[in-house]
Amino acid sequence: MGKLLRYTSKRSVIIYYTFALIGLVGILSWYQHNSQLLSDDIDLHSTYDIYDEYYKLPSLVQDATASHSDEEPEVGQFKNTEIYSLLLDSYNLTKECDKHSSIYEEIFSNHGVSTVLGQLDFAKRCDLFFTNVFLKNHNWRFNTSQSYDITYDGPYEKFCQQNSKKLKTEFIKERARFNKFSDFTRKTYAENRQREIEQTVVDELTIFRLYNKCFVTDDDPIQQSKIKNFITQQKQMVDKIGSSNPSKKFEFTKYEDLFQKGKEKSNRNNFDHRIYPWLSLETPIFERWTGKVYNDIPNYREILNDPSQPGKRKSSFFSKPTNTNFFKQYKNDCNGRGIVLTVADKHVDYTVNLIHLLRALNNKLPIQIVYFYNFSQESKKAILRAARDDYSHLPDSFKNVDSYFPSDYLENNHKTRGLPKQEVWFVNAANVLNERDKQKFNGFANKLLATLFNSFNEFMLIDADTVMMKNPETFFEMKGYKETGTLFFKDRFVLQKRDLEEGKLFNRVSQSTVDKLMFDVEPMTNHTLQREFFRGLVHTMESGMVLLNREKHFSSILMITHLNFIKPIRKKSYGDKELFWLGFAFNGDENYHFNSYSAASVGELTLPSDWQKPDGTPHYSQELCSSHPAQISEEDGHSLLWINSGFGYCPQAKSIDFNKESKIGRRLTFLPQTMEAFKQYYFDPLRIRHAIIPPVDDKLNKRYNYNDEPTEGWLMDRDYCKRYLWCAYSSIGGKLEGGDKDNKLEGKIITFSDKERQLFDYYGDIWMGME
């Protein structure tokens, strides 16, 4: 009996669990079949979940109601649509594949191209883009310590493991090119990682560029008018193209709409802490020479009682404090026109010399000295003495030039006649940076912050060793600046080559066709792509002087500073030099102007006896060796605008072995070949009598010849001035083999007038502090 009961009991349990399992399978099948309908009727997440770091959004932020194939969609397939192709034709844009932000993949996986471009205005497009930025990764913020390096560590090993079968198959096809499997895998990984790095750069630049256009400069009347016309015309084109197949009404997806609702009560434009995590979002501290300190941006028109100073920009409703962001407010508060330089204690001597020269040039513009670390009181006092003390004891060379200046050149200062005093401000910008990122702006990068955090609307940024030969206001009146709001200058045209792949990389990570179609961001054109930088030269720009109009180009100024964080771009530029114009180019702003002449060499022509061929005959080409790159005005092809590296003949004079250089005997043979004579000459002011702008070979090649003439326009003389002496040549090339052909290319020789030479001597004596 007991055995029968145990058997019956076991059978009942089996039957029970069998029916239970069948019931569970039925419930799961029903749920799978009807889950789509359930998801349409029930919100499974709270609005606030998008701010919860533990909440994971669905992959690719797809709408629950969208249908998808089992395969991953091809990247950029929205570009293959007919509407996209026809729009490219309308804007004369290339149809070549270009890299674009991965955020566009999120957008166009849920919305049709014609729906977005045919129905959304600029503000809605901005909302759509940044909604998808934060839906893709709701904890996103710009990583100032982002690694862009290719390293063979854990990620490489993981790559090999995950792709083992594919790599082995591909290696069999490539065995002729690789001796080892490891060589092939390392190369494949590097190529894959390089693509990832480039995509990261594209994503970061796009987000940064569009945030500034959408939420920082969106109150600019010129931008508003341009973008309104662009979108109005685009909608008309989309309507015309799609008239036979009209697009459905645009609607945010479930999750996009959820994000929109989640931020209704917040400041929708204010993501500064994500875009600019390296900033404290505080303004610098401004200290006038009087000792008065300002915690906000000074109004120069009122403080200086100078109606010629441009006033503050009139704010629109976009810039009300209740709905604004840091840089929009900063931009709109900037005003006036002035001179900016960034200095540390070690630059004080040069800064004192510069201010003396500005007084001699009759400068009336205010000067801002921007610093980021401790700047001693002794340094400030030295600069203020140079700017504010009576300066009536002028060098003897003034007697030769006093008639060239206006009658009010010497002011009546406390009963002494002297040079005009300068309006100097110290700008302490140490508080604008978060502590963890301060080291990223050491050295040259200080200039980038000075570009951003001076408070002038129009400004001239100069190095402490920049020497102007014209009154500063002259530069603001030059045609190139007045037309574009910029004035850049070219470096020496030295045939120092870079890998052409670097220029191609810059082009690949620049703005794409979809940036143009969505936000009217212009792609790079030949105005940028034909610069020497892209054609293979290391140096393009001389950044000792830069003129910028903040009101016209504020978002480009922001991009200049941002590029300092993008290592693949920054490390391919020497210091800050190329980042200025590249910041414009990467911002879709090619309204920048370079002075048409490349840098010249100024000083005195080399004596014929010091510049001979091996057979003792003179060269056709003339030579001028100098430590000072100089800029000649494009407006008259003659006037000397400014030089770099101070005014002493040799900027390295303090560290020269004069005993050694005086014994070489190749140069300066008009001097007694003694240590004392060389030392005196090196410390004296440069005597400017001529200038040579070497010729430029269009193909960036040397011009070899059989005349022993120079093959390139610039050569460094490594034996003099501690390798700081560059020799320029008035022509390159000569007779070719056989003597029938000549590849000579002429440059430009400028001979300065007596009046100009006298002025240069006077400015040199002032700068050097000579009696």
Examine the domain organization and report whether 576 and 626 are in the same domain: no
Return the pLDDT at 48. Answer: 35
pLDDT at 738: 81
Is residue 485 included in any domain, yes or no? yes
Separation between Cα atoms, residue 677 and residue 118, nearest integer Å: 77
Greater confidence (448 vs 69) lies with 448
Give 652-695 pLDDT, tens digit per residue: 999 999 999 999 999 999 999 999 999 999 999 999 999 999 99
Question: Lowest-pLDDT range, 190-204, 280-294, 437-451, 461-475?
Answer: 437-451
Q: Is residue 388 domain-shared with residue 439, that is, in the same domain? A: yes
Average pLDDT on 529-544 reads: 93
**Given this model, what pLDDT does residue 770 score?**
79
Same domain, 293 and 406: yes
For the residues of 325-360, what is the DSSP string, one character each?
-HHHHHHHH---EEEEEE--GGGHHHHHHHHHHHHH
Q: Alpha helices of 42-180 — where are they, by DSSP H?
A: 82-90, 102-108, 113-119, 122-136, 154-162, 164-173
424 in helix, strand or coil? strand
Q: Give the CATH number of the domain where residue 468 resides.
A: 3.90.550
Q: Provide the pLDDT for residue 488.
A: 98
- What is the per-residue DSSP string for 198-222? HHHHHHHHHHHHHHHHHHTSTT-HH
First to last CA, the chain: 130
Q: Which of 52-61, 103-112, 545-554, 667-676 has the lowest mean pLDDT?
A: 52-61
Q: Which residues of 203-235 are buried (b: 16+ CB within 10 A; e: fewer)?
A: bbbbbbbbbbbbbbbbbbeeeeeebeebbeebe
Q: Which residues contact 268 (CB under 8 A, 6 or more apart)?
A: 127
Considering the domain architecture, whether residues 564 and 709 belong to the same structural domain is answered as: no
Give residue 395's pLDDT band: very low, low, confident or very high (50, 70, 90).
very high
Q: Which residue has the higher pLDDT, 577 or 265?
A: 577
Q: Are residues 536 and 650 in the same domain?
A: no
Is 35 within the bounds of a domain? no
Residue 497 domain flag:
yes
Which residue do the tokens 């100073």 mark? 309
pLDDT at 152: 78
Band of the pLDDT at 759, cuts 50, 70, 90?
Answer: very high
Compute the Cα dihedral for 16, 18, 19, 25 and give only its sign. positive
Question: Amino acid identity of 500?
Answer: L
Helices 122-136 + 181-215 axis angle, to 10: 140
pLDDT at residue 441, rounded to an integer: 85
What's the Cα-to-Cα distance from 397 to each of 368, 434, 506, 716, 761, rounded to whole Å?
A: 30, 50, 50, 32, 7
CB count, 10 Å around CB of 137?
9
Phi, psi at 338, each rounded to 5° = -165, -175
Per-residue confidence (pLDDT) for residue 160, from 0 to 100 = 86
Q: Evaluate the CA torsion angle 621, 626, 627, 630 in order and state its sign.
A: negative
Mean pLDDT of 64-81: 58
What is the pLDDT confidence band of residue 328, given thresholds at 50, 70 and 90?
very high
- Are 367 and 515 within one domain? yes
d(CA 75, CA 66): 18
- Asked, for residue 223, whether it belongs to a domain, the answer is no
Please report the pLDDT score of residue 164 as a whole number: 87
Out of 80-84, 93-97, 443-447, 724-728, give the one with best mean pLDDT.
724-728
Lowest-confidence region among 384-393, 435-444, 488-497, 519-528: 435-444
Tokens of 525: 């054109």
Q: Is residue 527 part of a domain?
A: yes
State the residue range of the domain holding 650: 600-768
> Does position 37 have pLDDT exceeding 70, yes or no?
no
> Both 638 and 546 in a single domain?
no
What integer pLDDT is reported at residue 387 of this predicted model? Answer: 97
The alpha carbon dihedral of 125, 127, 128, 130 has a sign of positive
15 or 765: which carries more pLDDT confidence?
765
pLDDT category at 439 given cuts 50, 70, 90 is confident
Interaxial angle between packed helices 550-562 and 579-586, expressed in degrees from 0 to 180 and rounded to the nearest 10: 100
| pLDDT reported for residue 11 | 59
- Residue 472's closest CA among 368, 581, 394, 551? 368
User: Cα separation of 267 and 545, whole Å?
Assistant: 39
Assess whether pLDDT exceeds 90 at residue 457: yes
In a domain, 1, yes or no: no
User: What is the per-residue pLDDT for 40?
Assistant: 36
- The percent of residues above 90 in pLDDT, for the chain, comes to 66
Residues 622 and 485 in one domain: no
Tell me the pLDDT tens digit for each residue of 503-528.
Answer: 889 999 999 999 999 999 999 999 99
Q: What is the mean pLDDT of residues 96-119?
A: 93
Q: Which of 586, 613, 645 is the last residue of a domain?
A: 586
Dist. CA 324–CA 317, nearest whole Å: 10
Q: How confident is the model at residue 3 (pLDDT cuts 50, 70, 90)?
A: very low
**Of 110, 43, 78, the residue nearest 251 (C-alpha):** 110
Range 441-470 average pLDDT: 93
**Total domains in the fold of the chain:** 2
**Whether residue 53 has pLDDT greater than 60:** no
Q: In what order do the strands lie in the sheet with 725-729?
A: 623-626, 725-729, 714-717
| Residues making up the chain, counted from first to last | 771
Instruction: Report residue 604's pLDDT band, with 50, 70 and 90 as the boundaries.
Output: very high
Centre a 10 Å sphere on the Cβ of residue 534 and count the other Cβ atoms it contains: 20
Nearest-angstrom CA–CA distance, 243 and 379: 70
Boundary-marking domain end, from 561, 586, 611: 586
- 437 within a domain of the structure (yes/no): yes
Q: Return the higher-pLDDT residue of 128 and 44.
A: 128
Average pLDDT over residues 110-134: 94
Buried b (16+ CB within 10 A) or exposed e, 435-473: eeeeeebeebbbbbbbbbbbbbbbbbbbbbbbbbbbebe
The percent of residues above 70 in pLDDT, for the chain, comes to 86
* The predicted structure's pLDDT at residue 372: 85
> Is residue 33 scored above 70 in pLDDT?
no
Q: Which of 555, 586, 617 is the last residue of a domain?
A: 586
Higher pLDDT, 68 or 485: 485
More confident residue, 525 or 179: 525
Q: In this structure, are residues 627 and 725 in contact, taking their beta carbons and an 8 Å threshold?
A: yes
User: Predicted confidence band at 36 (pLDDT cuts at 50, 70, 90)?
Assistant: very low
Residue 68 confidence (pLDDT) above 50: no
Please determine, for residue 626, whether its predicted confidence score (pLDDT) is greater than 90: yes
- Mean pLDDT of the region 532-546: 94
d(CA 557, CA 50) in angstroms, rounded, equals: 33
564/606 same-domain check: no
Average pLDDT, the chain: 87
Confirm whether 188 is domain-assigned: no
Q: Is the per-residue pLDDT at 23 higher than 60? A: no
Q: Do 425 and 391 share a structural domain? A: yes
Structure-token match 């649509």, residue found: 81
CB 544 within 8 A of CB 475: no
Q: State residue 264's pLDDT score.
A: 53
CA distance 690 to 688: 6
Long-range own/partner contacts, residues 352-355 (CB < 8 A, 24 or more apart): 352/382, 352/383, 352/385, 352/386, 353/646, 353/647, 353/767, 353/768, 353/769, 354/462, 354/464, 354/465, 354/466, 354/467, 354/767, 355/383, 355/386, 355/387, 355/422, 355/424
Evaluate if residue 55 carries a pLDDT over 70: no
Q: What is the pLDDT of residue 142?
A: 94
Is the domain of 687 the same as that of 559?
no
Confidence of residue 202 (pLDDT cuts 50, 70, 90): very high
- Identify the CA nearest to 704 among candidates 728, 727, 736: 736
State residue 63 phi and psi, 5-degree precision. -70, 140
* pLDDT score at 16: 53
Same domain, 494 and 461: yes
